[in-house]
Structure 1
Amino acid sequence: MNALDRAIGWVAPRAALSRARARHALRIYEGAAVGRRASSFKALNTSANAEIQGALRPLRSRARDLARNTPYAARMLDIITSHVVGTGITPIPDSGSDMLDRRLENLWDDWERKADVTGRMGFYAMQALAVRAMVESGESVIRFIDRPFEDPRRVPFQLQLLESDFIDQWRDGIYGNDGCPGTEGLEHTRLGVGLGEYDRRVGLWLNPNHPGEINTSAMRPGVSTFVPEDELIHLFKELRPGQVRGVSWFAPILMTSRELADFLDAVNVKARVEACFSGFITNNDESTGDIFDPARPGLTGRDAANPDAQLTSLEPGMLKELRTGQDVTFAAPTSTTQVEPILLFNLQAMAAGVGCTYDQVSGDLRGANFSSLRAGKVEFRRLTEQLQNHVVIPSICDRTWDRFVSRAVLSGLLPDRPEPYRAQWMTPAWEPINPNDDIEADIKAARTGRMSPQEYVASWGNNWRKVQDMSAAFYKRADAMGLAFDIDPRRTDQSGKQQPVDGDPAGGKPQPLKDDTGEPITAPAAN
């Protein structure tokens, strides 16, 4: 202890002990030290919502500008959206009854194509746009819209996709159950998110119109109303416990990507200037006699000979005459060989900040090989599956499915029953880097029980029930027509050898597919 600590110890021993402990901790953790090296840290002991509050709108608007004007940022949005959603995360009904499952599939397929209340998109397209908005702006909102019972064959339910701007972030404070419809259980509001007991989310304060819309002549007054949680989906990736609003995924790379864009712009301008090989003519004629130009009667002397002598721009191959006494001096830009390394390292940092790989963002495969590509895809696949199973499926898919089923039951399209109508969600298939090896590995995994046959079929983006039905119908028709195919597993094994037919009651003809009881599997009747 130093002299000051000892003096404090005489008056306040507890405070002196606390100072000594803090100094000891600083010596243990270099990252907690105070000094010149640590002066650049912006270490604030604030909550996630306090940090988001002032940065929400600037981050969102700058991320959108980055996506509009930076090709690499737009590429990142496409990469993440295409891998997380692809052509759609589709449900496989699993109610326990084949009849109900097929009924659910038909109802869902009919509803999905017209899920958007604006009439422009299907549900799978809305999935992709919602995820894209979440990555770019940090969050997105889907609102459930109940429709009237006009068509007895269709579930009366649609979706409305909204940008995060619709959330009224200025609703911040005590907005409890003050008579506003749907505010039951609301105790306070943080950044437009209604919170109840234990900070449970109970709804959002939504503006009736987009706050950034310019044409407001036919719009309703901009007073936000409370929408309960069971009427909407608030999609965002939660990064800290207690966080109520989402942050743009571009936040860690905004400065890096902006500076890289400025650097590339400067490199392009420099290259354009260097490409302007021009010639200059100096007029040393001291004559001051008047020279009449019929086309320009007001100009005489040297002005008539060279009326546009002022130099303001350069063009390739230009020959420019200068006035007497004028000269042109060029800056001599030095050639740089650092463009490619700077671009490489910055793109790697940007890709890592968002969660992509460098080759995906840049398309540069010069130094890649099978092992490096596979290693990168394994990490990216884990991140993608985590996002699918922890954010997208619970928020968008499960919530929409539950609402769809409840409205189908209320409209009489599905029978009411105590057991829930469950569904398994099928994510986009992962394209193999080496198809032969990857498919062989999947087959072995299914044969050894590491994955079920249903999971194997679903891993390639297919509905296992439909695959079985279509296969049974295909081979039944082939047998009836007397056709044989090499892909028929009843004729050849996986190595391509013909299956033995000794004792075959059908005289060597392929046997029909059978179920566990030994009964032949018949194809379903065509619709």
Structure 2
Amino acid sequence: MARSSLTRIFSRLWKRSYEGASTGRRTAGWGTMRNQHAAAEAARRPLTNRSRYLVANNPHAAAAKAAWVAALVGTGVVPAVTDKLAAQWTAWTDEADADGLSDFYGLTAIMVGGMVVDGEALALKIATPAGLRIRVLDPDQLDASLTRPLVDGGRIVNGVEFDVFGTRVAYWIVKEQPEIGLGLTLSPVRVPAEDVIHMFRVDFPGQVRGISWFAPALLRLAEHDEWHGAQLTRQKIGALLTGFVTTNDGAAPFSGDSQGDALIGSMEPGALNVLPPGKDVSFSDPPAIAQEANDFARITLREIATALGLPYEVLTGDLSSVNYSSIRAGLVEWRRRIEMIQHNVIVFQALRPIWHRWVMIETLAGRIDDRVEDLLPVRWITPKVQWVDPAKDVQAEIDAINAGLMSRREAVAARGMDIGALDTEIAADKAREATLGLSFNAAARTAQPGEVAA
């Protein structure tokens, strides 16, 4: 008896405090992930392939990719520079693409789209006599099969080379895409890390390569596709309204075409047909889509939106259940996440290294007179976010400028414009208006005596 009491006491003391870590019937089918590195290495390629397929074929997956690219890049994340340097940067953006298919901001959008779908984006910084050029590569060109230790204490993991201190020093890249029939060499080439842009969202410490952002949503997206196919089949069956004529003597109550022993008849709209005794007409009762099916679809889409980090309204375009306050509150939280990714991933991993290389090349070529050290620190300004009520948004900016919380330079740069070019354009407009004797209401507040221009 005493032993039984002690057993109960110790079992209470040893009982797990975290129910999620308990064992038993309730947790028997739960999955676990012991090693994130190994799991990511094994799952990266299947997740990428399935994500690419869904984005190409599933409308919600395609909308999710487009929504993230538009939110993160928009018309372009621009450096906060002015005057001659801004003009030189703008001129270079049109020539940035080594393949000549887009400008620099288009390249950024391609890289961000690749990061969302494939989990990572890969590009080369190429120094040419005409200046810096960027070539975006397929992430599959980074040889994921190359993993081995090195004699100097370093290692290569999934095509990324690390030195003895764990610093990325090189990437092993296949120079050409594995196109069929061209007979190209697919041996990887060692490219120094300073010449490579490798952009991905870091989800855990020590992560080597990126994981598709669609990973948490793939199962739900596939199930939603299956549900949609099943409901479409149900709708087609529901459209098959068929009439059945029952007779006792085999005579047809309607006229029609004979097909063997069957008579295929028809009923004209507005016709009155009198059936003789012993004859009856009945119709099929095809199934209709119940309300719970629509509710299930809506719940599934909300789960997909949550897994993709998107507001439900952005993913689906369904604004039937929102008002001004609710949509604004939802977008505010999403835009915090957008800003975090813009500055922690896109700016840090891609835009800053490209800016540094561009400044160095332009300075060495004598096209920029300033010192490199003075030009490297630069702030990046993301595109201006449009609100539902633009009048209130503009007024809030004016109030922030007047209160000293924002400069005109920042407000103008957020619209993708250079403040020097804007001021020159405004002055030219006013001079032309004065020459022509025109007068318009001033769109901006005129600085009062004693005030310092922002």
Which TM-score band (shorter chain)? Answer: 0.7 to 0.9
Q: Does 1:217 align with 2:205?
A: no
* 1:58-457 alignment, distance < 5 Å: 58-93=46-81, 101-147=82-128, 149=129, 155-175=130-150, 187-211=154-178, 213=179, 215-220=180-185, 222-278=186-242, 333=287, 335-415=289-369, 417=371, 419-422=373-376, 423-457=378-412
1:382 maps to a residue whose letter is: R
CA distance in 1, matches of 2:367, 2:296: 61
- Supply the AA of the counterpart residue of 1:233: I
Partner of residue 28, structure 2? 39
Tell me how far 1:335 sits from its aligned partner. 4.5
Q: After the TM superposition, which residues 487-498 of structure 1 pair with which residues of structure 2 at under 5 Å, given as runs?
A: 487=442, 489=444
CA RMSD after TM alignment: 3.3
TM value normalised by structure 1: 0.73
Task: Report deviation, 1:488.
Answer: 5.3
Cα 1:265–1:383, aligned 2, differ >3 Å: closer, same or farther?
same
1:476 aligns with 2:431: yes
Aligned to 2:421: 466
| Alignment partners' CA distance in 1, 2:143 and 2:241 | 57
Partner-residue secondary structure (3-state), 2:126:
strand
One-letter amino acid of the structure 2 residue matched with residue 340 of structure 1: N
Separation in 1, partners of 2:348, 2:133: 18
The size of the alignment, in residue pairs, is: 422
Report sequence identity in percent.
31
Shift of 1:444: 1.5
Quote the Cα distance in structure 2 between the aligned partners of 1:110 and 1:457: 19
Deviation at residue 515 of structure 1 after TM alignment: 9.5
Please tell me the residue identity of whatever aligns with 1:486: N
Distance 1:335 1:107, change over 3 A: closer
Q: Structure 2-normalised TM-score? A: 0.84
Distance 2:451 2:103 in 1: 37
* Matched residue type, 1:242: G
Call closer, same or farther: CA 1:474–1:279 in 2, change over 3 Å.
same
Instruction: Give the residue type in structure 2 aligned to 1:104.
Output: L
CA contact (8 A) 1:357 1:376 kept: yes
Question: Cα distance, 1:469 vs. partner?
Answer: 2.5
Unmatched runs of 5 consecutive residues or more in structure 2: 249-257, 263-267, 269-283
| Change over 3 Å in CA distance of 1:174–1:344 after alignment to 2 | same
Whole-Å separation in 2 of the counterparts to 1:413 and 1:424: 21
Give the Å deviation of 1:235.
0.7
Larger radius of gyration: 1
The worse-fitting range, judged by mean Cα deviation, of 389-398 and 408-417 is: 408-417
Q: Once the 2 structures are TM-superposed, how far is the Cα of residue 331 of structure 1 from its aligned partner?
A: 10
Alpha-carbon displacement from aligned partner over 1:210-260 (angstroms, at most 9, x marks no partner): 34x3x143312x211221110010010000011011000000011011001
CA contact (8 A) 1:141 1:234 kept: yes
Partner of 1:288: none
Q: 1:515 to 1:446 in 2, by over 3 A?
A: closer
3-state SS of 1:197 partner: coil
Structure 1, residues 249-308: CA drift from partner, whole Å, max 9, x if none?
0000110110011001100011012212356899x9xxxxxxxxxxxxxxxxxxxx969x
Quote the Cα distance in structure 1 between the aligned partners of 2:127 and 2:13: 62
After superposition, the Cα gap between the structure-2 partners of 1:386 and 1:176, relative to the gap in structure 1 and judged at 3 Å, is farther
Deviation for aligned residue 1:342? 1.0
Deviation of the 1:61 alpha carbon: 0.3
Output one character per residue of 1:418-458: Cα deviation in whole Å (capped at 9) or x when no partner. Answer: 63314332211111211222222222222222223322333
C-alpha deviation, 1:91, in angstroms: 2.2
Aligned residue identity for 2:75: T
Deviation of residue 173 (structure 1)?
A: 1.7
1:27 is paired with a residue whose SS is coil
Task: For 1:131 and 1:25, locate their aligned partners in 2 and report how far apart those are by CA, in whole Å.
Answer: 49
Q: 1:392 to 1:191 in 2, by over 3 A?
A: same
Equivalent-residue separation in structure 1 for 2:296 and 2:76 (angstroms): 37
Separation in structure 1 between the aligned mates of residue 120 and residue 424 of structure 2, nearest angstrom: 40
Matched position secondary structure for 1:395:
helix
CA distance in 2, matches of 1:483, 1:514: 29
Partner-residue secondary structure (3-state), 2:110: helix
- Once the two structures are superposed, residues 317-350 of structure 1 have per-residue CA deviations (whole angstroms, 9 ceiling, x without a partner) of 9xxxxxxxxxxxx996575322221111111111
C-alpha change, 1:333 and 1:413, in structure 2 (3 Å) is same
Distance 1:111 1:218, change over 3 A: farther
Name the structure, 1 or 2, with higher relative contact order (CA <8 Å, separation 6+): 2
Paired letter, 1:173: R
SS at match of 1:368: coil
1:296 alignment partner in structure 2: none
Residues 234, 288 of structure 2: 8 Å contact kept: no
